[in-house]
Amino acid sequence: MDGRSSTGLEIRIAAMLCYALGFITGLIFLAIEKDSRFVKFHALQSTLLFASLFIMNVVLSFIPLIGWFFNMLLVPAMLVCWIGCMLLALQERKFLVPIVGPIADRESRRF
């Protein structure tokens, strides 16, 4: 996957940046990327993954005790997932995160 994306960045750098600020940068790259399906895939996967984790985080924070406990487990898992996704994208590896990965792969082929 040599070359540059339509943003002017190297494809691997653009794919990594899709994860930089969670679903925010995923949405930005979904809006501006026109050529690279690899970057579109990572942008969509980032958006789906971190938006769903954000929603889970908010919902769990409203549930007393047990929700707070699960939230304490979710936050470190989100951090590990975030770092792992950025490193794998930087290595130009197309990996499918469970549940959202296949959806992102299927939908990134559409546009």
Considering the entire predicted model, what is its pTM? 0.92
Quick one: angle between helices 37-61 and 23-32, nearest 10?
150
Dist CA 101 CA 42 (whole Å):
9
The C-alpha atoms of residue 19 and residue 100 are separated, in whole angstroms, by 14
In DSSP terms, which residues pair with 4 in a beta bridge? Answer: 10
Per DSSP, the three-state class of 4 is strand
Residue 17 in tokens: 């940046």
Q: Which DSSP letter does residue 63 get?
A: S
Q: In this predicted model, what pLDDT tens digit does every residue of 90-111 receive, in sequence order?
A: 999 999 999 999 999 999 998 7
Give per-residue pLDDT as tens, 13-51.
999 999 999 999 999 999 999 999 999 999 999 999 999
